[in-house]
Amino acid sequence: MSRKDGGPRFSGREFTAREIALIREVVEMCRGVSRMELANTICELLGWKRAGGSLKGRECREFLECLESSGVLGLPEKRKTRPIGSSTRIPLTERGDPCSVVAGRVEELAPVVIDRVQSQEERLLFRELVGRHHYLGYSVPFGAHLQYLVFISRPERSAVACMQFSSPAWRMKARDQWIGWDDTTRSRNLQRVVTNSRFLILPWVHIKNLASTVLSLALRRLVIDWEERYGVRPLLVETLVDPGRFTGGCYLAANWIALGGTAGRGRMDREHQRHGAAPKKLLVYPLHRDAARRLREA
């Protein structure tokens, strides 16, 4: 949360003194409800919504907790739920156990099929594969997100990869300089940027050209599915690569653009206490040939 010449600013929105007074009144009147219910109520009253019409409840709850830490208001006690970004219980089933090596060329095992995760069974499989085999594990995604399971079709249908897209970081210097937008334009158009927050090729899968094939297919799906789910057509996808573990070669082979490194703070470090803690390599992929111009001007 930041404050410049006007009222407090959070997630691209500046709040007036009248809005803060309203928020305090709602919190006082609704002491018996959960923090999430408070956040949704306040979103409704303030018209704080995503472009697709859904409430920005998670962002609002986080804003309320910032106001509480600043002494502006007092919130109800937290209920025992999994917060955004927290780890969660990972299923342990045979579906997630390491298998015999799957090798070959991608065309020999085609078609490669990308299924959007929607059912409870699919969610559990995605959570297990990412939780057990991705070096970052599985955590509750921040904000808007879509998840995909990737399958090969031959010699039999089997899962080989997982992909997750989610809301972008509010501020990244290299990205923002590449786009060339100011704070006002970023707050208006950031919803058109999506982060590839997880990409897992299962460790027993050694299929030549699979990674670049999955990236290509997933981005085609993303444009359609994100607009269908959230009412916004994305213009740019970004991802962060840990240079201590990976080169980002599959992204570069799929024509992603390397923009340099990050400060290593993480999306939630608004007080700049973790500068340089875990710098990453930033890559972007424009989903339109004029993506940067559109993000500056749309």
Residue 191 maps to which CATH number? 3.40.630.30
- 52 exposure class (CB count in 10 Å sphere: 0-12, 13-18, 19+): middle
Model confidence at 272, pLDDT cuts 50, 70, 90, reads: very low
For range 228-256, the mean pLDDT: 92
Side-chain-side CA neighbours of residue 99 (13 Å): 14
In angstroms, the CA 135 to CA 26 distance is: 42
Query: Is the pLDDT score of 80 beyond 80?
Result: no
Q: Are residues 64 and 104 in the same domain?
A: no
How confident is the model over 118-138, as a mean pLDDT?
94
Same domain, 55 and 125: no
Question: In this structure, are 64 and 105 located in the same domain?
Answer: no
Number of domains within the chain? 2
Whether 247 and 204 map to the same domain: the answer is yes
Reference 39, options 88, 76, 2, 1; nearest CA is 76
Higher per-residue confidence, 267 vs 46 = 46
Q: Is 31 a member of any domain?
A: yes
> How many angstroms from the chain centroid is the CA of residue 266?
12
Q: Is residue 87 part of a domain?
A: no
- Confidence class of residue 86 from pLDDT cuts 50, 70 and 90? low
Q: Are residues 109 and 54 in the same domain?
A: no
Encoded tokens for 210: 């699979």
212 contacts 108 by C-beta, under 8 angstroms: no
Confidence of residue 44 (pLDDT cuts 50, 70, 90): confident
- Structural domain boundaries enclosing 225: 97-297
Task: Give 215: exposed, middle or buried? Use CB within 10 Å, 0-12, 13-18, 19+.
Answer: buried
Contact 123, 91 (CB under 8 A): no
Q: What's the average model confidence in pLDDT over 179-196? A: 90
Do 50 and 144 have their domain in common? no
Q: What percent of the chain has pLDDT over 90?
A: 54
Residue 281 clears pLDDT 50, i.e. is over it: yes
How far apart, in Å, are the Cα atoms of 15 and each of 19, 48, 170? Answer: 6, 11, 17
d(CA 263, CA 243): 13
Average pLDDT, the chain: 87
Rounded mean pLDDT of 209-216?
A: 95
The predicted model gives 92-110 an average pLDDT of: 92
**Distance between CA 196 and CA 206 in Å, rounded?**
22
SS3 state of residue 123? helix
In a domain, 75, yes or no: no
Threshold 0.75, pTM exceeds: no
| Residue whose pair of structure tokens reads 């509010």 in the numeric block | 170
Question: Is 22 part of any domain?
Answer: yes
> Amino acid letter at 270?
R
Q: How far is the C-alpha of 196 from the C-alpha of 193, rounded, in Å?
A: 10
pLDDT, tens only, 1-37: 666 556 788 877 889 999 999 999 888 877 777 888 8
pLDDT tier, 183 (very low <50, low <70, confident <90, very high otherwise): confident
How far CA 195 is from CA of 14, 38, 146, 209, 232, in Å, comes to: 24, 28, 10, 22, 14
> Is 60 exceeded by the pLDDT of residue 276?
no
271: three-class secondary structure by DSSP: coil
161 and 121 Cβ atoms separated by less than 8 Å: no
Over the stretch 159-180, which tens digit does the pLDDT of each residue have? Answer: 999 999 998 888 899 999 999 9
Assess contact for 216 and 249: CB atoms under 8 A: no
90 within some domain = no
